[in-house]
Every structure is written in structure tokens, then in C-alpha cells.
Amino acid sequence: MKPIKIATAQFENKSGDKTYNLNVIRQLAGDASKAGAQVIAFHECSITGYTFARHLSREQLLEVAEPIPDGPSIHALQDIAAEHDIVVLAGLFEKDADDKMYKAYVCVDKNGLVAKYRKLHPFINPNLTPGDQYVIFDLLGWKCGILICYDNNIIENVRATKLLGADIIFMPHVTMCTPSTRPGAGFVDPQLWHNRQADPTTLRQEFDGLKGRAWLMKWLPARAYDNAVYAVFSNPIGMDDDQLKNGCSMLLDPFGDIIAECRKLDNDFVIATFTPEKLQQAGGHRYIQARRPELYGDIIGHDHVSEQRVVWL
């Protein structure tokens, strides 16, 4: 494997406005390519918008969803990839031939669809069907996986993706700044976003505190460290429907260190170089080699009925 330059982005999407969102994706992809990135990753449902979907009926969501790979958004991503010579990862709602709907995330290059993943634990709309498989794909000589938002909260998903061969895990999110049972959680006042030019300090305190980044730091570096993977975290900034999101899209190496992070209170991207040497230098690689699955294989694989509760809903 050769070193690879990957960008992660953040931007304020518009609910249901694919044309606008794809134009922003096009602009950021072009800028990242000029800055040397070979790949750029965007957040969960970056093409369609996300939180507004909790209000949609089945018929309305079907209007928003698209077939993959034959829908217009995939063709648009292919055009963007070809125009700027960059691989693009982005999210949208998918519908299949039977009108089943999924939360999808795709990887697209100038030749078309490289990979598609369906969220295993969707919750934003009851008409969504959970995905039922992990996805591993080749990207410029690297093995990659995808886990969308809540999927990363179940640590078994991250370990399984690693054991299937992933060196890089793309982790698109729409997260943080929502109420929870944990101390310090809650919404952030949208007025702070609208007033960010005059008072960036108060907004940054909210974004970086326990409502936002401080919570992320409780677990995201550990996912990279424990599994000796590069983690590509992408999250929107600004208003997503009626909720304010804090961005802080970042790239983490297999040591669990943040090697690049978006810090603008605006649309932004950052780039980092991933080198293959770290994959085996990291402690997580040695710990994976030391595993004894005969002790816990039956425990982890024991029958269990999944129960998913999202407090803010």
C-alpha cells in the first residue's frame, strides 16, 4: 500500500434540497482535490439532509429516496469525481425495486459506484429497513469499511469491520448537540449559530463542551486505537432541520490521535496523509493478535433481541 491523502468535510446542508447539497459537495470536492486530496468524505445523508426525515410519511420519504446506482445523485457524484479527479463518499436515502428504503452511504469514483453500505441501526424514520451486512472494499490499494453514525456505538460493529480486513473505516455521522441521559447533553440554541460572527466564543464553548466534542472524545479515539484503524469522521455543521450541529469532522490514526480536524464555524474540510506503517505499529494491532476468541466467542455471539432507544426522539 502507498500513502493516501484523505479529506473529511463538514457543511450546512439544506433539508430535501439535493441540488444545493450536491453543489456544495462539488465545491468542497474541487477545493480538496486542488489541495492534494485523493478522497473526500461527507456526512450521513449529506445529499438529502437528515433530521427533517423524522417528519416524513412513507410516501414522502419515497419521493426523497433514490435507487442506487441508477439514481440521479449517484450520477452527479460520478460527474464530480470525474471533474475533480477525486473519490467521493456521501450519504442519501435509498429505495430498492420493492420500495424498501434504507439509509445508504456510497463511495463513487469517476467510473461509477465503488461501494454501497446500508445503515445497520437506522432510527430517524420508522419506514427505513436496517442493513444486514458489513461492507469491505478496495480504495486505491487500501481496504476500507463504512459504519454510519449509531452503528459505531455498538463496538462489535467496529471490531467486525476490522476483522473483515478494514484499514480505514469511514464513519459518517449526524450527531451531537441533542438531549441524552448523560450529564451535560442537550440542544444548542440556534441563535448562537446565527450570531456566530459577533460572538464565536459562546458558540465554541457549546460546540466543544459535553453537548458536543467533549462527548465525542469519550469514545471515538478508542474506536481507532482499539482496532488499529484510520477513522474518517464526518459530521455536518450548522442547522440540520431545526437542530444545530457542531461539525468537528476529523481524521484519526491507528494510535487514536487526531491528525486533522475542521475547526471553522463554517463549511470546511481538512486533509491528512494515511501511511500503512501505522497499521502495524499501533498497539491495537498487537492486541488483536493476542485475542483468545475461544473464551468469549459464544458469549458475544449469544442470542440477543436488539432494542434501540434514541432518547432525543
Secondary structure string (H, E, C) spanning 144-207: EEECCHHHHHCHHHHHHHHHCCCCEEEEECCCCCCCCCCCCCCCCCHHHHHCCCCCHHHHHHHH
CB 76 within 8 A of CB 46: no
Burial 211-231 (b: 16+ CB within 10 A, else e): bbbebbeeebbebbbbbbbbb
Report the pLDDT value the prediction gives residue 248, as an integer from 0 to 100: 98
Report the pLDDT value the prediction gives residue 135, as an integer from 0 to 100: 98
Q: What is the mean pLDDT of residues 71-95?
A: 98
Q: What is the pTM (predicted TM-score) of this model?
A: 0.98
Report the pLDDT value the prediction gives residue 99, as an integer from 0 to 100: 97
pLDDT of residue 81 exceeding 90, the answer is yes
Report the pLDDT value the prediction gives residue 25, as an integer from 0 to 100: 98
pLDDT tens-digit map of 27-53: 999 999 999 999 999 999 999 999 999
pLDDT tens-digit map of 119-173: 999 999 999 999 999 999 999 999 999 999 999 999 999 999 999 999 999 999 9
Q: How far is CA 112 from CA 16, 41, 95, 218, 309, in A?
A: 23, 16, 18, 37, 36
Q: Where are the domains of the chain?
A: 4-300
Nearest to 103 by CA among 125, 88, 87: 125
CB 197 within 8 A of CB 183: no
Structure confidence at residue 311 as a pLDDT band (50, 70, 90): confident
Report the pLDDT value the prediction gives residue 134, as an integer from 0 to 100: 98
pLDDT of residue 234 exceeding 90, the answer is yes
pLDDT tens-digit map of 246-279: 999 999 999 999 999 999 999 999 999 999 999 9
pLDDT of residue 313 exceeding 90, the answer is no
Report the pLDDT value the prediction gives residue 96, as an integer from 0 to 100: 98
* Runs of H (alpha helix) within the chain: 18-34, 58-64, 72-84, 155-163, 190-194, 200-208, 213-216, 220-227, 277-281, 283-289, 293-300
Report the pLDDT value the prediction gives residue 309, as an integer from 0 to 100: 87
Report the pLDDT value the prediction gives residue 82, as an integer from 0 to 100: 98
Q: What is the mean pLDDT of residues 103-109?
A: 98
pLDDT tens-digit map of 196-233: 999 999 999 999 999 999 999 999 999 999 999 999 99
pLDDT tens-digit map of 282-291: 999 999 999 9
Q: Which CATH class is domain 4-300?
A: alpha beta
